[in-house]
């Protein structure tokens, strides 16, 4: 499994676009709805999709297997599990955002609340 830090997201997005210029990268936020209301990222060069971890097995086919996907949760554990699940189900361009939204707030966008 590949993990990237929030500070590496821009580089990952550029690489993803160069590999698949016709597919817009996705940040898949697998946190619970209350977490999303507490702190959310702003889509910037990617589509933001919210799919709570417990719903992924029933909903993952809503995603394009060829689309680059970066998974995000609170600290990185749930998103790592989702990365493994997606890889086992045919997704090849999928990474975990190490440290989750907590690291995102510290490393990428300090306007995102820490909880």
113 inside domain: no
What's the pLDDT at 26?
Answer: 97
Q: Report the CATH number that the domain containing residue 22 is assigned in CATH.
A: 3.40.250.10
Range of the domain at 45: 2-107
What's the pLDDT at 1?
Answer: 87
Instruction: Write the pLDDT tens digit of every residue in 67-86.
Output: 999 999 999 999 999 999 99
Domains contained in the chain, number: 1
What's the pLDDT at 20?
Answer: 86
Please enumerate in sequence order all residues whose Cβ is within 8 A of that of 106, keeping only pairs 6 or more positions apart, or say none.
99, 114
25 inside domain: yes
pTM over 0.85: yes
Distance CA 93, CA 68 (A): 5
Given a cut of 70, the residues of the chain with pLDDT beneath it are: none
What's the pLDDT at 27?
Answer: 98
């Amino acid at each position: 499994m590949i993990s990237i830090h929030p500070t590496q997201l821009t580089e990952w997005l550029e690489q993803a676009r160069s590999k698949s210029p016709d597919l817009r990268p996705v940040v898949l936020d697998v946190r619970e709805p209350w977490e999303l209301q507490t702190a959310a990222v702003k889509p910037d060069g990617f589509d933001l999709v919210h799919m709570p971890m417990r719903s992924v097995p029933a909903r993952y086919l809503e995603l394009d297997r060829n689309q680059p996907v970066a998974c995000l949760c609170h600290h990185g554990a749930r998103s790592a599990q989702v990365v493994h699940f997606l890889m086992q189900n045919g997704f090849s361009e999928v990474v975990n955002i190490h440290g989750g939204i907590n690291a995102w707030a510290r490393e990428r966008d300090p306007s995102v609340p820490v909880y």
